[in-house]
């Protein structure tokens, strides 16, 4: 698999990443092991997880699989911290919480460092400089090699990167931002993606298949065993099961038919090759599904197909994104 630099850093990652959202809950250790083996044998390196996935079980399963199954040195491990199971406070990016969460992640993963550590979301209750100081401490202590953010809007990302550049003694720079990005969700193109490209921050798209909807499997019904049929993930899929999404899914299917490939490949290749994207993160229920996704490696979409998909999925961005005098 092709390797790409993550933003303006020396860290190289496979241009498709493996997500572990369901590991330890809907995906047991045996199935996770099969997925990891398929991914590794295909040349994949970037594994994405978080301390809240499966209430920590995803990290624990990954840690067990790195213990003799797949060499730790062959993987780029990315995890996240900052989400909390508290009905009164969804996020906590205070220094104390973040550093304790990182130590707990390292214990579950069975490693002395992660290659990439993300803040899971912006926390309005914590001063941003406190959060960024925690990132700097994690990197300077060797517990994380690189740091990033997740679910930061454009101004939040720009503010964070600017503070890091201006703060005396701070050496850590944001290497990546993880955001949902697909043909069904192009909101990042408004501010986040331009900011990331200008700042040299690599974009790691999550849900690049539109939460599975772009594969076309939900077009007529919800398949048994799918995420849409899962007690935990059905609400996650539901927002994309509307008529607007159906039109985009139909366009993807038409493109796939014309290219003699699958809707999955078309949707994944589209987001993988967008400017500024380092590696979309793919989550699979089975090793067979993952194998199908990874076989996109040889596909590059023709320009006319990309333009057609751009047009049919174009988000409405008016003022101030376009010249006000033309509106």
Residue with tokens 């970037």: 46
pLDDT at residue 228, as a whole number: 65
pLDDT at residue 323, as a whole number: 56
Residue 103 and residue 67 in contact, taking contact as beta carbons nearer than 8 Å: no
Output the pTM of the full model: 0.94
Question: Cα separations (Å) of 7 from 134, 146, 174, 212, 279?
Answer: 21, 11, 9, 27, 11
Rounded to an integer, what distance in angstroms lies between the CA atom of residue 293 and that of residue 287? 10
Residue 287 and residue 159 in contact, taking contact as beta carbons nearer than 8 Å: no
| Helix segments in 6-127, DSSP class H | 29-41, 57-66, 95-109
pLDDT at residue 327, as a whole number: 47
- Angle, helix 29-41 to helix 57-66, in steps of 10 degrees: 60
Rounded to an integer, what distance in angstroms lies between the CA atom of residue 78 and that of residue 295? 23
pLDDT at residue 67, as a whole number: 79
Residue with tokens 């600017």: 162
Tokens of 69: 């199954």
Ranges under pLDDT 50 in the chain: 327
pLDDT at residue 216, as a whole number: 92
The verdict on whether omega for the bond into residue 320 sits within 30 degrees of 0, i.e. cis, is yes
Residues designated as active site: 53
pLDDT at residue 219, as a whole number: 82
Tokens of 223: 């398949």
User: For the chain, what are the domain ranges?
Assistant: 3-212+268-303
The pLDDT tens digits for 210-249 are: 999 999 988 877 767 676 667 777 888 888 989 999 999 9
Please work out, in degrees rounded to the nearest 5, the angle formed at the alpha carbon of residue 48 by the alpha carbons of 172 and 246: 120
Rounded to an integer, what distance in angstroms lies between the CA atom of residue 60 and that of residue 110? 8
pLDDT at residue 324, as a whole number: 54
The pLDDT tens digits for 111-154 are: 999 999 999 999 999 999 999 999 999 999 999 999 999 999 99
pLDDT at residue 230, as a whole number: 73
Second-level CATH architecture of 3-212+268-303? Alpha-Beta Barrel (3.20)
């Amino acid at each position: 698999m092709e390797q790409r630099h993550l933003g303006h850093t020396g860290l190289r990652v496979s241009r498709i990443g493996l997500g572990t959202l369901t590991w330890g809950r809907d995906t047991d250790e045996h199935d996770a092991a099969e997925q990891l083996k398929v991914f590794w044998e295909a040349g994949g390196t970037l594994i994405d997880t978080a301390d809240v996935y499966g209430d920590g079980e995803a990290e624990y399963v990954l840690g067990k699989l790195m213990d003799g199954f797949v060499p730790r040195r062959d993987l780029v491990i990315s995890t996240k911290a900052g989400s909390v199971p508290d009905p009164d406070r969804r996020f906590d990016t205070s220094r104390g919480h973040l550093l304790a969460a990182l130590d707990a992640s390292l214990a579950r993963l069975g490693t002395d460092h992660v290659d990439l550590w993300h803040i899971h979301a912006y926390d309005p209750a914590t001063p941003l400089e406190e959060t960024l100081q925690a990132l700097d401490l994690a990197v300077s202590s060797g517990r994380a090699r690189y740091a990033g953010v997740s679910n930061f809007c454009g101004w939040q990302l720009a503010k964070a990167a600017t503070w890091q550049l201006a703060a005396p003694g701070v050496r850590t720079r944001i290497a990546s931002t993880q955001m949902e990005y697909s043909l069904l969700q192009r909101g990042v193109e408004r501010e986040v993606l331009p900011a990331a490209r200008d700042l040299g921050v690599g974009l790691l798209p999550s849900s690049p298949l539109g939460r599975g909807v772009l594969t076309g499997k939900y077009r007529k019904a919800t398949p048994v065993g799918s995420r849409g049929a899962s007690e935990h993930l059905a609400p996650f899929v539901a927002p994309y099961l509307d008529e607007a999404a159906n039109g985009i899914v139909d366009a993807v299917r038409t493109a796939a038919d014309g290219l003699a490939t699958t809707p999955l490949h078309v949707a994944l290749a589209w987001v993988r090759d967008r400017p500024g994207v380092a590696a979309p993160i793919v989550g699979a229920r089975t090793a067979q599904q993952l194998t199908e996704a990874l076989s996109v490696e040889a596909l590059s979409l023709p320009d006319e197909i990309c333009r057609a998909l751009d047009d049919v999925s174009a988000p409405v961005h008016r003022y101030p994104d376009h010249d006000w005098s033309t509106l």
